Structure 1
Amino acid sequence: MPLLERLILLFAESGYLAVFAALLLCGAGAPLPEDITLVAGGVIAGLGYANVHVMAAVALVGVLAGDAAMFLLGHRHGARIMQWPLVARLLTLARYARVQERFTRYGNRLLFLARFLPGMRTAVYVTAGATHRVSFLRFLLLDGLAALISVPVWVYLGYVGANNREWLATWIGRGQHGLWILAGAAALVALALWWCRRRRARRGIHG
Structure 2
Amino acid sequence: MKNLAQHRSGGLYRHRIVVRKRIYLLLSVVLISTITALLLLLEESHSSGLMLWLIDLVVESIAFGGYLAITLLMILDGACIPIPSEIILAFSGFLIWSGRLDVWTTVLSGSLGSLLGSLIAYVIGLKFGREFIERYGCYLMLSRKTLDTIENWFKRYGKVIILVSRFIPGLRTAVSIPAGIGRMPIYSFVIFTVLGSTLWNCLLIYLGVKLRENWIVIGALIGKLEIPIVLTLLLALGYVLLFHKES
Q: Which TM class, normalised by the smaller chain length?
A: 0.5 to 0.7
Distance 1:79 1:60, change over 3 A: same
Q: Are 1:147 and 2:197 matched, yes or no? A: yes
Matched, 1:159 2:209: yes
CA distance 1:156–1:106, change in 2 (3 Å): same
- Is the 8 Å Cα contact of residues 107 and 198 (structure 2) preserved in structure 1? no
Instruction: Give the structure 2 partner of residue 49 of structure 1.
Output: 100
CA–CA separation in structure 2 for the residues paired with 1:172 and 1:69: 27
Q: Which residue matches 2:116? A: 65
Q: Which residue of 2 aligns with 1:203?
A: none
Please say if 1:75 is aligned against 2:120.
no
RMSD of Structure 2 on Structure 1 (CA): 3.7
Equivalent residue for 1:33, pick from 80, 84, 96: 84
CA contact (8 A) 1:11 1:44 kept: no
SS in 2 for 1:121: coil
Cα gap change, 1:93 to 1:138, in 2 (>3 Å): farther
Q: Is the 8 A contact 2:89 2:110 kept in 1?
A: yes
> How does the TM-score come out when normalised to structure 2?
0.55
CA displacement 1:97-122 (0-9 Å, x = unmatched): 69949946843321211212222234
1:58 Cα offset (Å): 0.7
Seq. identity, %: 26
TM-score, length-scaled by structure 1: 0.64
Partner of 2:165: 114
**Matched pairs, number:** 166
- Give the counterpart letter for 1:35 in structure 2: E
CA–CA separation in structure 2 for the residues paired with 1:22 and 1:115: 17
C-alpha distance 138-47 of structure 1, shift in aligned 2 (>3 A):
same
Q: Which runs of 5+ in 1 are unaligned?
A: 178-207
After superposition, what is the alpha-carbon deviation per residue over 1:49-91, rounded to whole angstroms, capped at 9, x for unaligned? 32222111111111111112211332244423679xxxx9xxx
Q: Equivalences for 1:126-205 in 2 at 5 Å?
A: 126-132=177-183, 134-162=184-212, 164-165=213-214, 169=217, 173=221
Q: Distance in 2 between matches of 1:120 and 1:40?
A: 22
Larger CA deviation: 96-105 vs 33-42: 96-105
1:94 Cα shift?
A: 7.2
Shift in alpha-carbon separation, 1:81–1:34, aligned structure 2, 3 A: farther
